[in-house]
Each structure stands twice: as C-alpha cells, then as structure tokens.
Chains A and B, each alone.
Chain A
Amino acid sequence: MRHIISILIENESGALSRVAGLFSARGYNIESLTVAPTEDPTLSRMTLVTRGDEAIIEQITKQLNKLVEVVKLLDLSDGPHIEREMMMIKLKADNGRRDEIARLVDIFRGKVVDVTDSTFVVELTGKSAKLDAFIKAAHEDSVVEVVRSGPLGIARGSKGLKL
C-alpha cells in the first residue's frame, strides 16, 4: 500500500540525511520526499511517500519517530487528506501545435508560464495521477523536460500537525 507521511523535524543540518539514511539502511523504499522550512524557521516539514505492507509501515513510522530530530509525525493515509503535486513541463510548441497545447493546458487547468518560438513551459498542480495524465496527453515526443515536486499532503478537517 502507498502511504504519505508528514513529518515535523528540527530544521538542522543533517536531519534530512538521517531520514534518507534510515530508509536506505533498513531497505525501505522512498517514492518521493519533499522538505522545506515551516512558518516556524526552527522546524521543517517533510512529506514522504513510501510503499509497504502494514507491518513495514508500522516499522517505518516507529523508526522515524525514534530519530532524535523528528518532533512529530502523521501518516496522512490514516484519514481523509488532500494531496497535491506541482509540475513544470517544457513542451515542444511549433507553429502547428501551439493551439492544441494551449487547449490541453486549459482542460487540465494549468498555466503557460514561459513561451519561446518553439517551446512552452507549463505549470500544473494536482494529484500525481493528474500530472501523469497530462504528460500522457501531451505525447511523449513533444516533452522536452519534466520537473515534479513530489506530493505534498495535508489532513482535512480542523486539526493540524503542529507542536
């Protein structure tokens, strides 16, 4: 099963490598990992996507909690939550195809954020599956470059992952 785990962690050098090191040392897989400081600059928030059966996920969350720098942790998959990923994609946009691409961007509620005579850069946010669908719809041979943030997640409802 795929799990998306949110982690509040001390914003200290080395904290990220402890998390990454834990996954490689114990043979857990990481599908994606994003990290940035929060509104409190002493804390960072990580969103980590991993896969495993129940026992493995239990071990992963316990081992993460055991890291001295991890302050709090929440497996978002345990409840209703919102997941978003951002992508910037550079597409070949020759004269014949510019309208078609613009229409596609509209359908997916994306934005064209850079234009040259031969390319567009499109910005798109949504669930990971939506980004996958866009890439597919844009045709492989027109894709110049793709950069994705990895998913971010937040729980629905009034509760927050806070100190």
Chain B
Amino acid sequence: MELSGAEIVIQCLKEEGVEYVFGYPGGAVLHIYDALFKQNDVKHILARHEQGATHAADGFARSSGKPGVALVTSGPGATNAVTGIATAYMDSIPMVVLTGQVPSPFIGSDAFQEVDTVGITRPCVKHNFLIKDVRDIASTFRKAFYLATSGRPGPVVIDIPKDVTDPNVKIPFSYPKKMKMRSYNPVTRGHLGQIKKAVDLMLAAEKPVFYTGGGVILDNADKELVELVRSLGFPITSTLMGLGAYPGTDKQFLGMLGMHGTYEANMAMHETDTLIAVGARFDDRVTGQIAQFCPNATIIHIDIDPSSISKNVRVDVPIVGPVRSVLEDMLQVLKESKKSPQSAAVSKWWKQIEEWRGKRCLRYDQNSGIIKPQFAVETLYRVTRGDAFVASDVGQHQMFAAQFYQFDKPRRWINSGGLGTMGFGLPAGIGIQLAHPDAEVAVITGEASIQMCIQELATCKQYDLPLKIMLLNNGYMGMVRQWQEFFYDGRYSHSYVDSLPDFVTLAESYGHVGMKIEKPDDLEGAMKEAFAMKDRLVFMDVIVDPTENVYPMIEAGKGHHEMYMSPGSELV
C-alpha cells in the first residue's frame, strides 16, 4: 500500500483506534485536513479555538481512559494549544497533539506562522517529536501513543512540517507492531520486599490513613483500592484529582484533604502514625507547610514515577510501580499474612475521627433567601442521582463541586487540578459527552471561567452535544475575592466581573436553551426541567450568594491543623 504522508497520518490514527480528533485547520495542516476529508473512520470535531480542542481531547481522555488526540496548525495554532497541553501535563493525561509546522526548508527562517513548537512545548510534554522525513511518520506515531499511555501518562506533541505530508510523495506504509525503546522502560511491578514491609507497617498501625490521588484513576486501580481499604477498615482521604476512585458516600471516606479539605481529613493527616499514599504526589495544595506535614507518621508511598517519591516530602517506604499491580500484590501479601490489623487501636482512632466529623465542617446557611453555591451543587447531585459526569472550571465553584458532589465512581469528576486552568470545563465537557454519548454531563462553572472558552458553545451546537451547564454566578472571581477578603483587607482589586453578558440570550444566540435561576425554591424544578431536555444543551445561569467563601481553608504555608472554619460552624 503506497500512501502520502498525510494519508499515513490518518492511517496511523486508525491503527491506534482513534475515533475522534479535536482540531482546527490552517495552512501547515491542509494536506492532513484533505486526507481527513477523504475518509470516514476518524471523525474530526471542529473546536472554535485550539485551547478548546486540546481541552476537549483531554476531557475525552480523562473520562474514557483512552488517549485524546488534537490537531492544530503551526504558529498561533500551536501556541493556542499550549495551555491545553500544559493542563494535561500537570495532571498526567494521555494525549497526542499533532501540530503542523512550516515546510522543513523554511524551518529557522522566521517563516510565516513559524514557531519553535518543540522548544515551546518541551517543558510541558512527556515527550515531543519533530518529524523530518515521511518515512518516520509511522514509527513516530507508534512511539508517541506508547509514550503517552504507558508509565506515568502524559501529553506527547508531534510536530509535522508541511512538506512531510505532501500528497504527491507516496511511500509504502506499514505500522510497527512491537514497541521497544531502549531508553524508556517504565516499571511494571513493584518491589515485593518493599510491599511486604509496607503491609507489615499497615498491620502495626494504630492511626492509619490512606491518602490517594489521581494515579489510582489513571491506572484503573479503583477496585483494588476499595478492596484493600475495606479489608483493612482504615479511613481514606483523597486529593482533588483522586475523587471517585473510592466511593465518596462510603463511611470510611473522610472527604477531600488539603487547602479546602474537610476538617476530619486534615486532622487525620495531622495525627496519623501511618500514612499510605497511593498515586498521589504531595502537591503543595495538599501538604500545606512541609515542616508540619504528618508530623508523627511513617510514610508509605506508591507511585509509578520515581521522581514523585521523596520530591516534596521524604518517605520511609517508597514503592515504585503501577498502582494497580502494587495494590494487587498488597492484597495477596495481606491474605497470606497471619497477622491482622490493630483493631482495638484502629477503633479508638475511628472514635477520634468521628468526633472530628461531628463538627460538620461543610455546613452552610440553609435558610438564606439567596441561592448558596453549595446548595446548587447538592441539588445537582440529587437531580442527577449522583451519577453524572461533572466537568468543572477553576475557582470556588470547583471546590464546592469537589466538596458537595460525592463521586462514587472514577472518571466522573473531570477538572484541571495541577494547572488550575480557567476555561477548561466547557471544552472538557465536549470530550466527555463524545466519549459517553448517552450519559448526563454537567459543567459546573463560574461567570469568569466560562468566558475563557465560551466560543465552544458553537461546537456543542454543531455536534448536538446536550451538556448541562450550571453557572454559579456570583459576579466575582470568587476565589480571588476570597483571598482578597482574607489576606488583603477586603481590597477587591479587579476581581469584580463587570459587564457580564446576559447568559440566557447568549446561550440562545448559539442555538441553545438558556435559563436564569434566582430563588432557592426554583432551583430543583428548573434543573429537572433542564435534564429532561435530553437532546438540548441547557445553560443554567444560577445567581448565587456573591459573598460566600469556601471553608474549611488552610492558608498557603500553614499546617493541616490550622484551618479556617466557616463562620457558622461549631468551632468558631
């Protein structure tokens, strides 16, 4: 079979089982777009901005576990994609991004729409390639998909000069079957000696706690995690990225930890004697001040990436390996062990935890005449029976969503945790809905965030994607306003979102349904109505309390036990 470079690109995507490419055309990728036009297997979703295309590919990947693919042109196409690439990189999301490049003879000449894409993206990709010869396309794609999806996943960029896809240069095509790279060998199994040591520590623990992160979801290790945690009877807390790996409604689950984590989760971290970290990376939003982090704990850390281990916090028992296989091995070792957990001590520990839980740190004012953002999320939870895919933007609404939508399944909670990218939610929702055409997909957003990628409403119209957008409209960059209230004496410098559009007519002008909801009593009915419109995108502009803050809160640089609690809580 003789194919041109452009046809080979498409063929490689087929070989990798790629169903959707999220993209935006331009000069350097026109040959590829022409090849796309002539076939029907790989479907192209036209975003309205390259950032949207990359976030959509990302949302597809996060919700399905399959690599997301984006296609953009050179120069501004590539630079617009950088935010999406960096977002995926920070959360270790498997993605392959194809960027057009000026024809090879022009590289380095400041040609029209030339940027050094490989140079610009180098610090925010797992790896990147510049293809210099049509004969290298197939092997490069094979490597790119392998790298993106194996080990610690991440985005891979393939930069393709226009001449490499020349329709008039045809070569024989075959796709490499075996993949071996001498310089890249991700660990496939944890060290059994270390695993045994960890299990011994767990069985001796008196105040143990599991602290789990996005790595559990990335490696599809939720079943093993649940089995292990249940069989030990230990408490478990999760990072923002790990929510849903362990059922959020289970009684052993303490809620999220960290800056806006629950009182019981953070106090348990502070008091624990044995911390079992699984697929989590000790991010500063989780640890607070390092010097005060888990002061009494022996720390076990399971991670696929050796460089995550002892990076921010020194650990005592490192286990490098894929989370799932390590947890499987742990279960096995546990089964074979003659010892059992310290049940007396652990029930005492639980008593302490229940006391902390009794403070009900997430309480908020239920009798307010104005819609509280927490109440809106709780209503969404009820209306969707806790079973929707929820994409979020970045800000207070993201934290309220994480605190009040109790995710029982993995890959349901889709948000930009590491980079914190405003504008992520709506386009991510596009990718999620395409990956799960029959599922309910909600986007929780703020009036500031939604305006960063609002143009993707057109994409939703073109492809009939019935997202349900819940805008928690507080008229402020709420998270910024909160910091200004707490740490800058209420000097609200440029955090008021002025000159807002009328979101109802805005949604309508894109061909969608718009709703404005202002009273707590109207919320549930309106939301039910919205979700009943199965084939329509409904944009719910929910007017919420502009002064609400996210509690509890640990100020940056403070310890887990130094939380601000909500004014209504018993602690104040």
Contacts and interface: CB of A to CB of B under 8 A. Distances in A.
A58 B310 contact: yes
A1 interface: no
Contacts of B181: 68
B172 interface: no
Given A59-B311, A62-B306, A63-B307, A14 B123 contact: no
A66 B182 contact: no
Interface stretch (A17-25, A82-90, A92-100, A146-154): A17-25
B182 A68 contact: no
B123 A163 contact: no
Nearest to A69: B183
B504 interface: no
A21 B123 contact: yes
Contacts of A46: none
B307 A68 contact: no
A13 B314 CA distance: 36
Nearest to A13: B130
Given A55-B310, A65-B306, 18 more contacts: A10-B183, A13-B130, A14-B122, A14-B130, A17-B122, A18-B122, A21-B123, A25-B123, A55-B314, A62-B306, A62-B307, A63-B307, A65-B307, A68-B126, A68-B147, A68-B183, A70-B183, A71-B183
27 contacts: A10-B183, A13-B130, A14-B118, A14-B122, A17-B122, A21-B122, A21-B123, A25-B123, A55-B310, A55-B314, A58-B310, A59-B311, A62-B306, A62-B307, A62-B309, A63-B307, A65-B306, A66-B305, A68-B127, A68-B147, A68-B183, A68-B184, A69-B183, A70-B183, A71-B182, A71-B183, A163-B182
Contacts of B311: 59
Given A17-B122, A21-B122, A66 B183 contact: no
B193 interface: no
Interface of A: 9-10, 13-14, 17-18, 21, 25, 55, 58-59, 62-63, 65-66, 68-71, 163
B119 interface: yes
Nearest to B185: A71
A69 B130 CA distance: 14
A63 B306 CA distance: 9
A29 to B, nearest CB: 18
A55 to B, nearest CB: 7
Interface residues on B, range: 10 to 19
Contacts of B126: 68
A66 B89 CA distance: 14
B307 A59 contact: yes
Nearest to B306: A62
B165 to A, nearest CB: 20
Contacts of B183: 9-10, 68-71
Interface in B348-379: none
A13 B108 CA distance: 14
A59 B182 CA distance: 22
Contacts of A65: 306-307
A95 to B, nearest CB: 50
Interface in B84-131: 118-119, 122-123, 126-127, 130
A56 to B, nearest CB: 11
Nearest to B311: A59
Chain A interface mostly helix, strand, loop or mixed? helix
Nearest to B307: A62
Contacts of A163: 182
A17 B119 contact: yes
A66 B119 CA distance: 18
A37 to B, nearest CB: 15
Interface centre among A65, A66, A70 (most CB of B within 10 A): A66
A160 to B, nearest CB: 16
Contacts of A71: 182-183
Interface in B395-452: none
A64 B187 CA distance: 16
A59 B313 CA distance: 12
Contact of A66 (B123, B307, B314): B307
Contacts of B127: 68
B190 to A, nearest CB: 17
Contacts of B182: 71, 163
Interface string B299-320: 0000001110111001000000
Interface centre among B119, B307, B309 (most CB of A within 10 A): B307
Interface centre among B118, B183, B309 (most CB of A within 10 A): B183
Contacts of A63: 307
A25 to B, nearest CB: 5
Contacts of A62: 306-307, 309
A18 to B, nearest CB: 6
Nearest to A60: B307
Contacts of B123: 21, 25
A66 to B, nearest CB: 5
A65 B151 CA distance: 13
Nearest to A22: B123
Contacts of A10: 183
**3 interchain residue pairs of minimum CB distance:** A62-B307, A71-B183, A68-B127
A65 B152 CA distance: 13
Nearest to A10: B183
Interface in B260-315: 305-307, 309-311, 314
A17 B182 CA distance: 20
A17 B122 CA distance: 9
Contacts of A59: 307, 311
A25 B89 CA distance: 15
Contacts of B119: 17
A42 to B, nearest CB: 9
Contacts of B307: 59, 62-63, 65-66
A55 B310 CA distance: 8
Nearest to A65: B306
Nearest to B127: A68
Contacts of A17: 119, 122
Interface centre among A9, A66, A68 (most CB of B within 10 A): A68
A6 B311 CA distance: 22
A63 B314 CA distance: 16
A95 B309 CA distance: 63
A51 B148 CA distance: 32
Nearest to A8: B183
B291 to A, nearest CB: 14
B141 to A, nearest CB: 15
A84 B375 CA distance: 69
Nearest to B147: A68
A70 to B, nearest CB: 6
A158 B183 CA distance: 23
